Amino acid sequence: MRETTDHIVDLIERLGRIARSAQHAEGMKPAQWEALRFLARANRFSRTPGALADFLSSTRGTVSQTLIALDKKGLIKRKANLGDARIKQLELTKEGRAIVNRDPLHMLEKAVASVGEEPGLAENLERILRNIIHQHGNRPFGVCLACRHFRCDGASSHARGPHRCMLSGEPLSDVDSNQICREHEARAA
């Protein structure tokens, strides 16, 4: 059967509905799970309420309410930004990291793994996502390693090196380098 655009969109929509439904686990709401997932994957420069709002394509007010709920549940903590006291840095607590490990979307990961990775599927989905993000004028976000500002300064794995973000001038650890950033700009091909 030839896949039609309508059929593919229907499948994506159904998967989205199932994923949203599953995210009512552990007394949480889908937006709360999305925030926790973002904080688990974002680099230290992007773990702010503003970056979270941009990533979720949400309003600052909606994100603020989500963060208040997560804070009350003891899943996040807010810290003052050393460079700018007006900006709050967000961190997962030990409990927050534990709940992310029980993420209900792991069922989707298992389902994808059970059918095997289709060659090109991830790349095609990323292209679709980038296209929609561009149409809406949103930030693309992306992994530091794939950013035009990323520089590898060596081959060691020091806590705060051997890499560097040339936009901020900040050193990046190996962990930082594999996390998502709001300032991501794809490298030229």
What is the distance between the alpha carbons of residues 102 and 149, in angstroms, rounded to a whole number? 33
User: Per residue in 35-63, is it b (16+ CB within 10 Å) or e — as a string?
Assistant: bbebbbbbbebbbbbebbbbbbebeeeeb
What is the distance between the alpha carbons of residues 55 and 140, in angstroms, rounded to a whole number? 8
E strand or H helix at 13: helix 5-22
Q: HEC string of 112-150?
A: HHHHCCCCCHHHHHHHHHHHHHHHCCCCCCEEHHHECCE
pLDDT above 90 covers a percentage of the chain that reads 49
* 140-177 residue pLDDT tens: 888 988 899 999 876 544 445 578 899 988 888 888 88
* 58-87 residue pLDDT tens: 999 999 999 999 999 999 999 987 777 778
Q: Is the Cβ–Cβ distance between 149 and 185 less than 8 Å?
A: yes
According to the model, what pLDDT value does residue 2 have?
56
**pTM (predicted TM-score):** 0.81
Other beta carbons within 10 angstroms of residue 31's beta carbon come to 18
Q: What is the CATH number of domain 5-117?
A: 1.10.10.10
* In the block, residue with structure tokens 């937006």: 31
